């Protein structure tokens, strides 16, 4: 049983497993070498040999407790034949959503397009480096995928003015998203994913009255589906206003928190295992500050099942030596 399983399933509090969101990727020089030769990000995600190599890179450097697969939540819209590209300094750009075409898609069509992701998981799971470590697969939550598919780009500058205009389109798209996310989950688990994390990157965009329709109900359907395979699920509803409500309704095995919440308040209100919390920008400061901040989270959650992670993905400017220092510090705590 991996250390992460021990925390999730046995609720152990005397160990502190660590993995980091986006640990495979942009801050590592060995990744940047591969990326330079492979400018098309989607194609790189769908090259199982290279994406396996990238997934394992941080495990060769640091004593991490999990491999998180090198992929992207937008592989699902890509699998649904929506155009997906990543532009430097801009982020993801998606093509027009053609519901008619998507409704004709079968499971076979979808799996054919994204099959390298499942081969990648198989390669990672069967590599000797991942022995006694967890292999983590993931999906984007229905709401976050809906945002990208209809907004056609990151909503950092806000959603399109007409985003909620066509309720029929929204409802139909959510049904499609749920159907194909379940397929994507099943194939990840069948190929060796031992934990699934659900990223709801844009949960913070919604007001309280819309949470039930767009976040609680669709995410709960997926959480129940994942649990039906006896596989634990971690949910990361970034910037959600009320983590307690979310946990009570969606009921994941683990809740991942962002860096805008007070960890003491989380500890008081939430009984399930907790993951994450520290601001990724702390890794851009100095070792003394890093030690102080990491220790703050470790101290707060010392008697609660806790997986150390950040409150969002590791930043590209991070010095790998700082990451090394953090991992050793958490392990020695």
**Higher pLDDT pick, 41 / 158:** 41
Distances (CA, A) of 34 to 87, 194, 316: 17, 27, 15
Residue 88 has pLDDT above 90, yes or no: no
Looking at the 3D structure of the chain, how many domains does it have? 1
Confidence of residue 207 (pLDDT cuts 50, 70, 90): very high
Q: What confidence score (pLDDT) does residue 145 get?
A: 98
Q: What's residue 298's pLDDT? A: 98
Largest CA distance in the chain: 56
Distance CA 220, CA 59 (A): 32
| Averaged pLDDT score across all residues of the chain | 97
Share of the chain above pLDDT 90, in %: 98
- Mean pLDDT over 4-18 rounds to 97
Which range of residues forms the domain containing residue 157?
A: 3-332
Q: What is the CATH number of the domain that holds 298?
A: 3.20.20.210
- Whether 89 has a pLDDT exceeding 90, the answer reads no
Write out pLDDT tens, residues 257-303.
999 999 999 999 999 999 999 999 999 999 999 999 999 999 999 99
pLDDT tens string 308-330: 999 999 999 999 999 999 999 99
Cα–Cα distance for residue pair 163/146, rounded to 1 Å: 10
CA angle 237, 142, 110 (to 5 degrees): 135
What CA–CA distance (Å, rounded) separates 84 from 96?
10
Q: Measured at the alpha carbon of residue 122, what is the angle toward residues 121 and 125, in degrees to the nearest 5?
A: 80
The pLDDT tens digits of the residues spanning 154-191 come to 999 889 999 999 999 999 999 999 999 999 999 999 99
From the list 244, 235, 223, the residue with the least C-alpha distance to 197 is 235
The DSSP code sequence of 269-312 is: H--S-EEE-B-GGGGGS-HHHHHHHHHHHHHHTTTS-EEB-BSS
Which pLDDT does position 90 carry in this prediction?
Answer: 87
Q: Which two tokens stand for residue 333?
A: 């705590």
Query: pTM higher than 0.75 for the full model?
Result: yes
């Amino acid at each position: 049983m991996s250390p992460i399983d021990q925390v999730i399933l046995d609720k152990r509090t005397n160990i502190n497993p660590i993995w980091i969101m986006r640990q495979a990727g942009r801050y590592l020089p060995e990744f940047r070498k591969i990326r330079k030769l492979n400018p098309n990000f989607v194609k790189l995600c769908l090259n199982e040999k290279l994406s396996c190599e990238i997934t394992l890179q941080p495990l060769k450097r640091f004593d991490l407790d999990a491999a998180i697969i090198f992929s992207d939540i937008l592989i699902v819209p890509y699998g649904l034949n929506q155009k997906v590209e990543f532009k430097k300094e801009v982020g993801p750009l998606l093509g027009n959503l053609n519901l008619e075409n998507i409704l004709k898609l079968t499971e076979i069509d979808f799996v054919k397009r994204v099959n390298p992701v499942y081969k990648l998981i198989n390669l990672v799971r069967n590599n000797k480096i991942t022995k006694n470590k967890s292999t983590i697969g993931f999906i984007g939550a229905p709401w976050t995928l809906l945002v990208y598919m209809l907004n056609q780009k990151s909503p950092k500058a806000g959603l399109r003015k007409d985003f909620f205009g066509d309720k029929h389109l929204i409802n139909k798209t959510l049904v499609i998203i749920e159907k194909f996310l379940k397929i994507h989950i099943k194939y990840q688990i069948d190929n060796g994913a031992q934990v699934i994390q659900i990223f709801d990157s844009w949960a913070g965009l919604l007001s309280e009255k819309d949470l039930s329709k767009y976040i609680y109900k669709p995410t709960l359907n997926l959480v129940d589906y994942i649990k039906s395979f006896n596989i634990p699920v971690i949910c990361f509803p970034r910037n959600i206003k009320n983590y307690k409500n979310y946990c009570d309704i969606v009921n994941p095995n683990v809740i991942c928190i962002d860096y805008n919440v007070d960890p003491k308040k989380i500890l008081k209100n939430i009984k399930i295992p907790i993951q994450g919390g520290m601001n990724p920008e702390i890794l851009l400061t100095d070792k003394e500050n890093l030690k102080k901040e990491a220790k703050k989270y470790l101290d707060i959650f010392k008697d609660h099942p806790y997986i150390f992670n950040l409150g969002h993905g590791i930043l590209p400017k991070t010095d790998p030596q700082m990451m090394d220092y953090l991992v050793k510090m958490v392990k020695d705590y």
